[in-house]
Chains A and B, each alone.
Chain A
Amino acid sequence: MSREVLQGTLDLMVLRTLDVMGPQHGLGLAKRILQVSEGILNLNQGTLYPALLRLGQRRWIMSRWGLSENNRRAKFYELTARGRRQIAVETERWESTVAVMAKFLARPTGGE
């Protein structure tokens, strides 16, 4: 997949990852997203930070400073209640997009 991750797609990935894994710092999120996408997604890890800021402004996530596993000060992000609700909304939207695209891309099976 290209380096340009669709906006909104990245948002949903971040929200969902926080939902599954609990509070994470930026590095952890990047690693997890790359791991889940099995290397297909070649993400510029830096682009994660503007996305995190955006999600924070929408009050979907919040952040606090903490200590990382190697005892470094790191900013941990976690899901808010609003963010949890937003996952449902975004998931539904994504599924309908996929469904529409699937219809367009389906090979005609004769008839019509």
Chain B
Amino acid sequence: MWGRFVDLFRRRRLDADLESQLAHHLNALEAEYRARGLAPGDARAAARRDMGGLSQVRDAYRDQHGVPVFETIWRNSRFAVRALRRTPGLTATIVLTLALGIGANSAVFSTIDTVLLRPLSFPDADELVRVIQTQDKLLVGQEQAEALKVEIGSALADVEVPDFADIAGRDLVTGLLRRTSIDATTVRSALERPLAQIVDAVKDLLERTPPELASDVADRGLMLVGGGALLRGLDQRLQRETGLHVTVADDPLTTVARGAGQALEELATLRARADKPDKPRFGH
């Protein structure tokens, strides 16, 4: 198969090779017949008879040095190009449609990839549970850790929070219940890794924002919604890292649900806006 593939790229030379070999062969046979005393015309005919049908030989040779699948693809694409050339208007329309389609899709997907598909970690209490487990040899529940986060967690060092908070859990050494106090710095460093990921994701998305949208974002800034927005200092941290004005929505826990409800009530308005894609907006 590889040999055939290689031959695909030197078909012209192979064809020339075959012709010169066939000519050599024919001439030699003809010369022999003439040496045996045949008239020139008869000798030529006899030589041809010995060789067999030359066009058949050429066909068999070509079949052998082409790779059938590639040959067919090549032939079909040449036909397609000819057909398209005959109808330039249609061709232009098709090419334009494809280009727009591909362009729009890749734009949409790069956004979706960042916003939805990239698993975005939430500054949850898992990390906190692990830190307390290794640092204080204390196994605490998910809920207790979450409460601790709400009580003294922050996204920035210079945010006012209580210095310490108590937490109860099972001592990993003795197996008994034990209380300990955790300081705010421990909580903040436990949250640091997921926070850094969130900041990165926001920056990444801003870099990919089309310019029309970007001016809008620069005007209005970012609004944080969802439970994660309740983390103290998250808005200031994002504001510091992105240079944009960042606000937290009123009652961020329910924003998404309320927004969805409102969207259902005002479907007509949304549809009208969706039909006019020349002025894209973020609906907050």
Using A26-B21, A57-B7, A72-B24 as known contacts, say yes or no to A45 and B50 having CB atoms under 8 A apart: yes
Contact (Cβ within 8 A) A46 B64: no
Interface size class of A (residues with CB under 8 A): 20 to 34
Using A46-B51, A46-B52, A46-B54 as known contacts, say yes or no to A57 and B3 having CB atoms under 8 A apart: yes
Name B55-70 residues within 8 Å CB distance of A.
Answer: 56-57, 60-61, 63-65
What separation, in Å, do the CA atoms of A50 and B64 have in the docked complex? 7
Contact (Cβ within 8 A) B51 A26: no
Nearest CB of chain B from residue A17's CB, rounded to whole Å: 16
Name B34-81 residues within 8 Å CB distance of A.
Answer: 50-54, 56-57, 60-61, 63-65
Which of A27, A49, A59, A72 touches B61 (beta carbons < 8 Å)?
A49
Contact (Cβ within 8 A) A57 B4: yes
Which of B20, B27, B56, B64 touches A57 (beta carbons < 8 Å)?
B64
Q: Which residues of A contact B28 (CB under 8 A)?
A: 27, 68, 70, 72
Question: Can you list 26 A-B pairs, Cβ within 8 angstroms, ordered by A?
Answer: A25-B21, A25-B24, A26-B24, A27-B28, A27-B29, A44-B51, A44-B52, A44-B57, A45-B50, A45-B52, A46-B53, A46-B54, A49-B22, A49-B61, A50-B61, A53-B7, A53-B14, A53-B18, A53-B61, A53-B64, A53-B65, A57-B65, A58-B3, A68-B24, A68-B28, A74-B24
Report which B residues bind A (CB closer than 8 A): 3-4, 7, 14, 17-18, 20-22, 24-25, 27-29, 50-54, 56-57, 60-61, 63-65
